[in-house]
Amino acid sequence: MRLGLEPNRPISTVEERVSMRLPRASGVLLHPTSLPGRYGIGDLGPEAHAFVRFLAESGQRWWQILPLGPTGFGNSPYQSYSSHAGNPLLINPDLLVEEGWLETNDLGEYPALPEAHIDFDAVADAKDQLLRRAFRRFSPNQPEFTSFLQENAEWLGDYALFMALKEANGGSAWYEWEPDLVRREPSTIERWRSQLSQSILYYKFVQFAFARQWKALRASCAEHRIQLIGDLPIFVAQDSADVWARPDLFQLDETGRPLFVAGVPPDYFSETGQLWGNPLYRWEAHASERFAWWISRLKSVLDRVDLVRLDHFRGFEAYWEVPADSETAATGRWALGPGTAFLEALRDGLQGLPLIAEDLGEITAEVEALRDRFNLPGMRVLQFAFGGDPGTELHLPHRYVNHCVAYTGTHDNETSVGWFHTSHIETTQTPEQIAAERAFALRYLGTNGSEIHWDLIRIALASVADTVIIPLQDILGLDSSGRMNTPGIAKGNWAWRFQSGQLDPRVRARLADMTAVYSRWNGPLPPEFGPPHRQLVEEPMLGR
């Protein structure tokens, strides 16, 4: 039977999580850092709640975000200091005032920062000063904080100690600390834990503040029938509490440095591949613990969201292994991943698999078989649909299956306007191939391309895909200036923000109308979008 979820109820029961057939619906991809606001970065404050109202008013069901962890190198959400912790930069100062941890006049000292993009270093300094001031007024004896410490004891102690040690060591990576700390020698750990007790408490407080603000935002989502799609990177950052706390789970040498690192082979984006640099797993060690470390990671994410996009799903079948001293990813090789045993352990540990398989890139029959064995929805991306490479035809809407999540583009793509109109785009295609791709897109869409973003949005929403997710940049019709990330480039990414005036009534009305026309409205259809077509509930297709 088709999974017919009520629009205001999250996916929660074992039966629902196992069957994972999503209702016909749509949503928007926007990381909270890209929200507007006066503090130099989007956060969990009033503008986030306003965005939830926008989603509800335009008939959306889903808000998809990127990983929420504290960012490290390059400010990338995919290079975090922790798989479990929340990003302190997302904490809203106004809500700290409401908590009584800051005074209103404390905010007057906050520096004037750019509104159209994020100056991460300046924001980090300004937010840290405010949070430390709030910490001085905070009482750790309150029952809510005690409960928070107990509920998150599995990861919070290691994370807070890691961050306190990192601060005490001038921000250096953990594998550059004194040898006894690198090896986590117990007496050394306890000595530092005692010495840094106040700093450790501060980092626990920051996570408490984040958790309270996220809880309020989730309540707002529930009130407006909005559900959240999160994101779990397959790999973790080398300089993270995850690796420092459990080095035995990673392929490291005796000094804590990786023997092999992650990446992908040459592809659409790069002739030399992408060298991500993350340490690779010792999968046999994870298997011996029935993948408990992974189950814990996913439980932390699912405490915050309803569905999880499992990043680089291809790597669970086979991953690209690159010697740590390589200059590019081209020297790597494929190594077998944990496969069926991994997903079976997750299914048992989570009582279901509320996952989306990010199955983009070089996908083999074995990867497809693994995805299908566990009935996971895969991804389709319209920007990949119109080229001539093998496999691109699967991204054409007339080739979609119901059980998939369709996108105009992702955070790694150009905006749709940039993809279609920019003279130079980051791709391995020749100019002739790009021209042919764009010409076929015009033929397929039956358009002159003057509003290519709305053409792509319309055909995605009209498709048979159960779920359609549109990046906000495409809804706003932004050019390349709105791009979030360029794969393979370490600096200059993740800084885009939109301005509140851009989500004007005209944009909202146009998105709402298309959502209604193509039977994706979340909840009862408002009468102004008549005639009141019955929302169809179809039986799932057999096979794929």
Which of the following is catalytic: 158, 242, 358, 359? 358
Three-class SS state of 254: coil
Tell whether omega for the bond before 179 is within 30 degrees of 0, i.e. cis.
Answer: no
Q: CA-CA distance, 442 to 424, in Å (whole number)?
A: 19
Query: Choosing from 362, 372, 412, 479, which is the catalytic residue?
Result: 412
Which residue in 427, 408, 384 sits closest to 64, CA to CA?
408
Is residue 415 within 8 A of residue 409, CB to CB? The reply is yes
DSSP annotation of 496? B
CA dihedral 58, 5, 310, 383 (to 10 degrees): -40
Q: Which one of the listed residues 16, 242, 306, 311 is annotated catalytic?
A: 311
412 is catalytic: yes
Query: What would the 3-class secondary structure string for 47-85 be?
Result: HHHHHHHHHHHCCCCEEECCCCCCECHHHCCCCECCCCC
Is 121 catalytic? The answer is no
How far apart are alpha carbons 519 and 536 in whole angstroms?
A: 8
Identify the H or E element spanning 279. strand 274-279
**Neighbour-count burial for 73-98, b at 16+ CB within 10 Å, e otherwise:** ebbbbbbbbbbbbbbbbbbbbebbbe
Longest dimension (CA), the chain: 72
Q: Which residues, in sequence order, are bridge partners of residue 405?
A: 379, 467
Residue 311 known to be catalytic: yes
Consecutive H or E run containing 421: helix 416-421
Catalytic positions? 311, 358, 412
